[in-house]
Amino acid sequence: MNSKHLTIAAAAVTVLAVFAAIEPALAQAAAAAADAPKENPYGIEDIVRRHNPVQMGILFVLVVMSIGTWYISFMKFLEQNRILGQSKTLEKKFWSSATLSEGIDKLPKDSVFRAVAEAGLKASQGGNSLVGLNDWIGMSLTRQLEDANARMQGGISFLASVGSTAPFVGLIGTVWGILEALIAIGVAGQMSIDKVAGPVGESLIMTALGLFAAVPAVLLYNYLVRRNKIITEKLRAFAGDLQTYLISKSK
């Protein structure tokens, strides 16, 4: 064997050694590529990528509904917590005061209980010649309670609207997706899975998004309404006690 053959043999051995060294790395890279998630051509990304005006419009409306639901629920929850916290301090700050004016001054300026107390105090001082003092104070307190209830109900109707309409908004996307699937079948002249998978998948996604927007809205609406009822009962009890106090002082 001459030197040329020896050189070729040595080169072959070197190549085999290098291949043996990198073979595990190549196998690992191939396995990772096989396990890598493949792009889904039928998901929300596809809806955004294709910029279908109808589906994009429905998607925008559902997103706005969902964001509005969570924002309003969070703000109303904080407001209710603030009012419930104020109700706990009435016994300490208001009813333990020497005079009604002093008790009002101890309450926060943004307190709904302070607004009720001020309305009652004003009614007891002003009076009305057409009705008795007791009725006049009761009417003034009732009006103030109605104003407080109206403020507490503000925004909650949006949750009710979302809960009742979001499924139907998603249903519009469902109907549109099915319509696109039928059009694709008609254009192709035959039914194939690749023609209908995309539109039908989008229609199901729209249905799911409608439910995802509606279900939290309904649950949060019921939760906030129950807490509003608790606050309303506390306000009515306070107004009743205040009316009794004002009438007793006027005698």
- Tens of pLDDT, residue by residue over 72-126, are 999 999 999 998 888 888 877 888 777 888 888 888 888 888 888 888 888 877 6
Q: Could you tell me the pLDDT band of residue 36, with boundaries at 50, 70 and 90? A: very low
Q: Are residues 6 and 99 in the same domain?
A: no
Q: Are residues 7 and 57 in the same domain?
A: no
Angle at 250 between CA 248 and CA 251, to 5 degrees: 70
pLDDT in tens, 188-222: 666 666 666 666 667 777 888 888 899 999 999 99
Q: Are residues 25 and 147 in the same domain?
A: no
Structural domain of 239 = 44-250
- Report how far apart, in Å, the C-alpha atoms of 147 and of each of 112, 119, 178, 190, 210 are: 10, 12, 48, 64, 34
Q: Are residues 141 and 113 in the same domain?
A: yes
Q: Are residues 27 and 77 in the same domain?
A: no
Residue identified by tokens 């009822």 is 229
pLDDT in tens, 89-104: 887 788 877 788 888 8
Residue whose C-alpha is closest to residue 41's, from 32, 33, 54, 50:
50
Number of domains comprising the chain: 2
Q: Are residues 16 and 100 in the same domain?
A: no
Q: Are residues 244 and 137 in the same domain?
A: yes
Angle at 133 between CA 132 and CA 135, to 5 degrees: 70
And the tokens for 176? 């549109």
pLDDT in tens, 146-157: 888 888 888 888
Q: Are residues 19 and 109 in the same domain?
A: no
Q: Are residues 23 and 51 in the same domain?
A: no
Q: Are residues 184 and 134 in the same domain?
A: yes
Residue whose C-alpha is closest to residue 212's, from 222, 201, 204:
204
Average pLDDT over residues 178-182: 73
